[in-house]
Amino acid sequence: MDGILAVWKPAGWTSHDVVAKVRGIVKVKRIGHTGTLDPAVTGVLPLCIGRATRVVEYVQERPKCYEAVMQFGIATDTEDLTGTVLEELPSVTLTEADIRRVLSSFVGDIEQVPPMYSAVRVYGKRLYELAREGQVIERKSRPVTIYALDLLDMKLDQTHPTIRFSVSCSKGTYIRTLCVDIGQALGVPAVMAELIRTMSGGFTKEQCFTLEQIAQLQAAGELEEKLTPSDEALDHFPRATVSMENVQRAFQGKRIYLNAMFVHGEYAADSIIRLYGKDGSFVGLFTPDEETATLKAVKVFTKTAD
């Protein structure tokens, strides 16, 4: 069994819990997820199964989309409502104009400091492990990109107002931290109250299966046909076609000349290219080597290459 299975992660499960459950259902050891979700968070969790684990790094690099609810007037140590309250204002007054102005200011390239309750490694330990020991250490900020940030709903007449927004962002963006930073920009503490991941690795909710559906499909012998082939999840890379003779050259570890491929569209000098044979078979991922005018193999998808 090889391919990508988009799972709708339920609340209360870790990403590793989901992997373990699916591993037990399909009886395949090689399964990897494409981006951790906190236990309380629901949403899209693509799993790479079998030989598709070789594309995990490329799938998880793709943008992710979320819907979040944030609450103003409260701060916690985890930056969401599961943590210990560190600050709570008696009431907060905000205007729609100010909220829209601040949200728009976060679109683009920004810097984030990873939260203490995160899986980032520092000194060989996960930050959440240090946090559980009562430690708070200095973390370096890192760049992330917010591609879009849209206000969906708001309840400003409450003691602690809430807003709901959608966000499209780069890998490594912490929505909890984004909520805290938005609050700081408005001059009030804030936390993430709810979070749903609506898109990851190019997969949406409509393409996802629940754990119950996965078990039913497997029992009926229909799950494998529901898997997405690895190369379809890499459609953000340029596509090129070569002759079957050059396919064999690739399988033999030989380089292919750039002028031997037909590129469907444009590519940059440092592009990763999806290479196919004229029969439509997926050969693998390659990158152009301008010095030798050849394609250099990144990953060749043959049975012998695994």
Amino acid at 237: F
What whole-number distance in Å separates Cα of residue 286 and Cα of residue 299?
Answer: 7
Give the C-alpha separation, 14 to 22, whole Å. 13
Per DSSP, the residues of 253-295 read: T--EEGGG-EEES---TT--EEEEETTS-EEEEEEEETTTTEE
Angle of helix 211-219 versus helix 15-26 axis, rounded to 10: 10
> Which residue in 2, 17, 38, 270 is the catalytic one?
38
pTM of the model: 0.87
3-class DSSP assignment, residue 247:
helix
> What's the pLDDT tens digit per position in 62-117?
999 999 999 999 999 889 998 899 999 999 999 999 999 999 999 999 999 876 56
Per-residue model confidence as pLDDT tens digits over 171-193: 989 999 999 999 999 999 999 99
pLDDT of residue 305: 41
SS3 of 22, please? helix
Contacts of range 245-254, beta carbons closer than 8 Å, 24 or more positions apart: 247/277, 247/281, 247/283, 250/275, 250/283, 250/284, 250/286, 250/295, 250/297, 250/300, 251/283, 251/300, 251/302, 251/304, 253/297
Q: Quickly state the pLDDT bin for 304 (edges 50, 70, 90).
A: very low
Rg for the chain, CA atoms, rounded: 22
DSSP E strands, 91-161:
108-112, 121-122, 125-126, 142-155
Q: Is 215:195 a contact under the CB 8 Å cutoff?
A: no
Mean pLDDT of 23-36: 91
Give catalytic status of residue 157 as yes or no: no
Mean pLDDT over residues 220-229, rounded?
95
**Contacts of 155 by beta carbon, 8 Å cutoff, 6+ apart:** 161, 162, 163
Which residue's entry shows tokens 């959440």?
128
3-state helix, strand, coil split of the chain in percent (to 5) is 25, 35, 40
Domains observed in the chain: 3-61+201-231 (3.30.2350.10), 64-196 (3.30.2350.10), 237-300 (2.30.130.10)
31 — pLDDT class (breaks 50, 70, 90): very high
Lowest-pLDDT choice from 119-128, 146-155, 216-225: 119-128
